[in-house]
Chains A and B, each alone.
Chain A
Amino acid sequence: MATVSLKKLTKSYGPVAVVHGIDLEVADREFIALVGPSGCGKSTTLRMIAGLEAISDGVIEIGGRMVNDLPPRSRNISMVFQSYALYPHMTVRENLGFSLKIAGAAKEEMDRRVAEASGILDLDQLLDRRPSQLSGGQRQRVAMGRAIVRDPDVFLFDEPLSNLDAKLRTQMRTEIKKLHAKVQSTVIYVTHDQVEAMTLADRIVIMRDGFIEQVGTPDEVFRRPQTRFVAGFIGSPPMNLHEAAVDDGQLLFASGERLPLPSQFKANVGTGDKVVFGLRPDDIYPTGHGISSGEDVDVHQLELPVTVTEPLGNETLVFAEFNGSDWVSRMLNPKPLRPGDRLKMSLDLSQAHLFSAETGKTLRG
């Protein structure tokens, strides 16, 4: 068990920098998720922590010890790869025990730890099979088992669930969560799937173009995104984001339509400011068909034409046109709708977000 700390961590390939001096402190036993679109540097960061990628500048510390130039084997970490990376020529048992064999562990010790790991992950029946005889989910479990057996300071996961089908992914997500509760170790988990990050992590690190955009608990990054990028990236369906100008206490959109300026931002913006207005689908709902925040302090009502609906059973996503484009909203008590129907929408502006159009940073005080 150990802390991980990244200080001004940089990675460049020749003149091209892919990770720009990031700082991050991971607490002991914390589950942290690195999330971001492909090419944001999250996997590179993980590989640098693992020692599979040389670092260009900065410091990596694991458990207070600088590991910058240590080879992977000396960092006491385990890693689960996206491709599982099981050794095809070894049985499950040999795969699990490989690290112990290399370390020269005694036979009894090896058997005991393999049995322990296979017990945790329910692999007992599969020990004599080869990876090619296993299903995707089973391979995934073996890969995790191989990581557990080492009893590492830090677990690194590199998009471990992205090769599984949707159902299995949900199932394995739960397993990973249970596993973390059981083994209680520091976990750094890379994913491009924000749902995985939200459900698993204690804290989420959102990366973009080699920079950290925001670090926070799932609740923080969802409710208080610090940048426009985070606002658009976290949440499904994504937040409605539209550029507007502040004009006399109102938001003036490009189409000429207006919305009242949410009261929580009044102190921070003035006429002429260019902003990006954001509102989550959950905070826009057809009147009487959603959950109101109760107080109705800052609820604005509009009548909008429906363009498309996506019924999901328990709810329906309604796409309605405003400011020349579709705004997604959530109808929690669905009723049948046809394109062109006009709906009275309630916009809960107390939940709205404003970002500077220039810097993308939040304008919340």
Chain B
Amino acid sequence: MDQNCLHRVRNKALGIAHGVGLFLAMLVICLPGIWIVLSSLRPTVEIMAKPPVWIPQQLSLDAYVAMFSGVGKGGIPVLDYFRNSLIISVTSTVIAIAIGMAGGYAFARYRFRAKSAMFLGLMLTRTVPGIALSLPLFFVFARLGIIDTHFGLILVYVALNVPFTIWLIDGFFRQVPKDLAEAAQIDGCTRWQAFWQVEFPLAGPGIASAGIFAFLTSWNEFALASQLTRSINSKTLPVGLLDYTAEFTIDWRGMCALAVVMIIPALTLTFIVQKHLVGGLTSGAVKG
């Protein structure tokens, strides 16, 4: 009886300790995010204060109002940046997924010469840090005259994302048994129909997660975008953050407000497909 009681108490204590531990861990993880949101709402004095002001004294939406109030009144062309980001991210994601699906399917289903070497080659391209390519890319793009265009940035992001989408989608197609496509063909489908009716829906979650990753990569990318864009023609939101830096000052509050604006679509998208995302990561990456 005593022992039972002891174990019950111990289990309860462990449960509480577990909860507290998790809370602290999550706090550390979430703190930067929370700090950005808070900083976007408080005056610069409070942001820069030393020692830091933990509890905000006064909150206002001034930074957001200013951001959208137009150039010359402390605002930046945020809608243009948003449009650029959206066009570039969506287009490059769609293209990367289309290529990734074709490539992933080929790697999963067909046997061809130098298959593993090609796969390894694709993966190796991921080991090169993007920033290392920025200078050569700049020269090439300058020659081609595609600096500061949507096309240029889309091209870069497609190249950046394709190896990853191929790798992820390949894993998902491998998990769809070959028999299913064959059964569909016997049931009257053409090869093409069998793919869209049977294999595609089954690999759907994997393709969705590959899409999210590709989208987030393009949406958040800064290093290459800052080199290859110049004006509101093509500047994306991450590059737009730099508009808040002046020669002697940095408008931390405005920058944080823009960061929040940037995070919201990404967060919403991730939230909507998070189930697929987690499933995608755990079941697609490990090849059976």
Q: Which residues of A contact B233 (CB under 8 A)?
A: none
| 0/1 string, A85-96, CB within 8 A of B gives 1 | 101110000000
Q: Which residues of B contact A78 (CB under 8 A)?
A: 186
Q: Which residues of A contact B180 (CB under 8 A)?
A: 85, 87
Q: Which residues of B contact A50 (CB under 8 A)?
A: 182, 186
Q: Which residues of A contact B183 (CB under 8 A)?
A: 79, 81, 85, 87, 146
Q: Does B247 touch A at the CB level, under 8 Å?
A: no
Q: Does A239 touch B at the CB level, under 8 Å?
A: no
Q: Which segment, of B96-104, B197-205, B258-266, faces chain A?
A: B197-205
**What separation, in Å, do the CA atoms of A51 and B187 have in the docked complex?**
12
Taking a contact as CB atoms under 8 Å apart, the answer to whether A73 and B189 are in contact is: yes
Taking a contact as CB atoms under 8 Å apart, the answer to whether A73 and B177 are in contact is: no
Q: Which segment, of A98-106, A229-237, A346-354, faces chain B?
A: A98-106
Contacts A52-B182, A79-B183, A150-B187 given: A85-B177 contact, CB under 8 Å? yes
A89's partner among B177, B189, B202 (CB-CB below 8 A) is B202
B182's partner among A81, A99, A103 (CB-CB below 8 A) is A81
Contacts of B194-215 to chain A: CB distance below 8 A: 197-198, 201-202
| 0/1 string, B219-250, CB within 8 A of A gives 1 | 00000000000000000000000000000000
Taking a contact as CB atoms under 8 Å apart, the answer to whether A102 and B186 are in contact is: no
- B164 CB to closest chain A CB (Å) equals 25
Q: Does A136 touch B at the CB level, under 8 Å?
A: no
Q: Does A4 touch B at the CB level, under 8 Å?
A: no
Q: Which residues of B contact A103 (CB under 8 A)?
A: 188
B187's partner among A88, A89, A99 (CB-CB below 8 A) is A99
Taking a contact as CB atoms under 8 Å apart, the answer to whether B202 and A88 are in contact is: yes
Q: Which residues of A contact B116 (CB under 8 A)?
A: none
**What separation, in Å, do the CA atoms of A112 and B109 have in the docked complex?**
36
**What separation, in Å, do the CA atoms of A212 and B257 have in the docked complex?**
78
Q: Does B69 touch A at the CB level, under 8 Å?
A: no
Taking a contact as CB atoms under 8 Å apart, the answer to whether A83 and B188 are in contact is: no
Q: Does B2 touch A at the CB level, under 8 Å?
A: no
B197's partner among A81, A102, A150 (CB-CB below 8 A) is A102
By secondary structure, the B interface counts as helix
Q: Does A249 touch B at the CB level, under 8 Å?
A: no
**What separation, in Å, do the CA atoms of A52 and B187 have in the docked complex?**
12
Q: Does A288 touch B at the CB level, under 8 Å?
A: no
Q: Does A339 touch B at the CB level, under 8 Å?
A: no
**What separation, in Å, do the CA atoms of A81 and B198 have in the docked complex?**
16
- B207 CB to closest chain A CB (Å) equals 14
Taking a contact as CB atoms under 8 Å apart, the answer to whether B185 and A73 are in contact is: yes
Q: Does B37 touch A at the CB level, under 8 Å?
A: no
Q: Does A72 touch B at the CB level, under 8 Å?
A: yes
Taking a contact as CB atoms under 8 Å apart, the answer to whether B198 and A87 are in contact is: yes
- B182 CB to closest chain A CB (Å) equals 5
Contacts A89-B202, A102-B193 given: A83-B186 contact, CB under 8 Å? no
**What separation, in Å, do the CA atoms of A306 and B120 have in the docked complex?**
62
Q: Does A77 touch B at the CB level, under 8 Å?
A: yes
- B57 CB to closest chain A CB (Å) equals 55
Q: Which residues of A contact B90 (CB under 8 A)?
A: none
**What separation, in Å, do the CA atoms of A286 and B180 have in the docked complex?**
53
- B211 CB to closest chain A CB (Å) equals 19
- A8 CB to closest chain B CB (Å) equals 25
**What separation, in Å, do the CA atoms of A78 and B191 have in the docked complex?**
17
Contacts A71-B190, A81-B179, A83-B177 given: A89-B185 contact, CB under 8 Å? no
Q: Which residues of A contact B197 (CB under 8 A)?
A: 98, 102
Q: Please give me the 8 A-B residue pairs with the lowest Cβ-Cβ distance, nearest first.
A: A99-B187, A85-B179, A85-B183, A102-B188, A73-B188, A72-B185, A72-B186, A81-B179
A-B contact pairs, 9 of them (CB 8 A): A71-B191, A72-B182, A73-B186, A73-B190, A87-B198, A89-B201, A98-B187, A98-B197, A146-B183
Instruction: Given contacts A73-B188, A85-B179, list 17 more A-B pairs with CB under 8 A.
Output: A52-B185, A71-B190, A79-B182, A81-B179, A85-B182, A87-B180, A87-B183, A87-B184, A87-B198, A89-B201, A98-B184, A98-B197, A99-B187, A102-B187, A102-B188, A150-B187, A150-B188
